Structure 1
Amino acid sequence: MPRQNVRIYLKALQDHALIEYKAAERHTAIVRATDKGFALLGHSRVTLSLPIIGDVAAGQPGYADEHIEGYATRLQDVLDIHEGDFLLRVRGESMLGVGIYPGDFVVIRPMQTEPLAGEIALVAVPGDNTATLKRWHRNNGTVTLLSENPDYAPMTFPTQDVLIQGCLVGHIGTGRSRQAR
């Protein structure tokens, strides 16, 4: 189809308020559906967004940064997410055994209750603003946080020294090529 015909169709859709269309002469066009256009397609522009609030250590505990870097939308199409859930980008290799790699995203659900034994949890550990993603095990007044990589030793703390920040409810691989171990 000739470029001029495409432009005519796009202008017609814009005239009917179905799209926003911006293009400079001989440049790439930017086309966005309007609310009316989404409605015609049976979709809504309103979606649940999760804040991307920083990184989480999946190795040695590191700074738990909590500023919002941006928002991810349409995750509810593939993950069971709820209002209040949030994303963290994984840093480190301690959870490779469950397929969580550096640069991947994890969906965390804030919890008021203790994780189940063996559940993967986001736990604030003693130190300055440190949190880590590990398997949770509690035993006689202590909590042991286990990695899914034999290169990382278990971490054990008195129960009162750790703070449960949430539990893993989803994982999003970032498409990086995986290397066999």
Structure 2
Amino acid sequence: MEALTDAQQELYDWLVDYIREHQHSPSIRQMMRAMGLKSPAPIQSRLDHLRKKGYIDWSEGQARTIRILQSTQGVPIYGTIAAGYVNAVFTDNVDRLDMAGVPIKAGDYALQVTGDSMVGAMIQDGDIVIMRPVKDPQSIREGTIVAARVEDGTTLKYFHRNDNQIRLIPANPAYPVQEFPATQVDVQGRLVAVWRGYFD
């Protein structure tokens, strides 16, 4: 599915939340107010792009008929991630996780946890973690749980920055803290939810 611009993403996220809460779509005026716009033209343009990209649809000539298409498809499960030492990750899609009622966003994805290095954070072997892509690594807060790719693979750990060094810290004292130059760490997502028992 084609990526959204920041303006399109902002409107899409607001629409998802509004429709989930009210069980119907908003008016153009409500969208204008929410986006801080004084003209309907930018709203219509964003709606047209969201429709062309397959995120929403509506019935022509009828008010308040916008439907969210993306969220009905679930969150893609992209493979496994190590909660231990690093391992390979991001295999082909193996399934889609139905996240009805959970405030997911376009671009969110799921990984199955292998290992026990994050048990202190209530993340166990076999759990599904919902991750959100990180646009700006500099914006990551200290202590955020991230999926971080390093030379040997990808791991799930607490993120800490110390000048030009990144420390990936487990939530289990049986595992060591991993430290890398910032240039060798690619943060691929931050944790937004944990799902247990999906494969039971």
TM range (shorter): 0.5 to 0.7
Q: Which runs of 5+ in 2 are unaligned?
A: 1-66
**Residue 184 of structure 2 is aligned to residue 157 of structure 1:** no
Identity %: 33
Q: CA deviation at 1:72?
A: 1.5
CA contact (8 A) 1:100 1:171 kept: yes
Displacement after TM superposition at 1:169 (Å): 0.5
1:63 maps to which of 88, 96, 99: 88
The structure carrying a bigger strand percent of its residues is 1
Q: Where does structure 1 differ by over 4 angstroms across 4 or more consecutive aligned residues?
A: none
Q: Residue 23 of structure 2 corresponds to which residue in structure 1?
A: none
Pairwise CA RMSD: 2.1
Match status 1:173 vs 2:196: yes
Does 2:71 align with 1:72? no
Unaligned runs of 5+ in 1: 1-43, 177-181
> How many Å separate the matches in 1 of 2:149 and 2:100?
27
1:34-73 equivalent positions in 2, closer than 5 A: 47-73=72-98
Larger Rg: 1
Q: Give the letter for the 1:168 counterpart.
A: L
Aligned to 1:117: 142
| SS at structure 2 position matched to 1:65 | coil
Q: Give 1:71 shift.
A: 1.0
Cα distance in 1 for partners of 2:198, 2:172 equals: 20
* SS of the residue 1:63 aligns to: coil
Aligned partner of 1:50: which letter?
A: V
CA distance in 2, matches of 1:172, 1:145: 22
The Cα of 1:175 is off from its aligned counterpart by 7.5
Distance 1:175 1:49 in 2: 13
- 1:89 is aligned to 112
Query: Equivalent residue of 2:120, what SS?
Result: helix
Q: CA deviation at 1:66?
A: 2.3
Amino acid at match of 1:70: D
Q: CA deviation at 1:173?
A: 1.4
Higher fraction of helix = 2
| CA apart distance, 1:89 | 0.3
Shift of 1:76: 3.6
Q: Which one of 154, 157, 163 corresponds to residue 140 of structure 1?
A: 163
Shift of 1:65: 3.4
Query: What's the secondary structure of 1:111's corresponding residue?
Result: coil
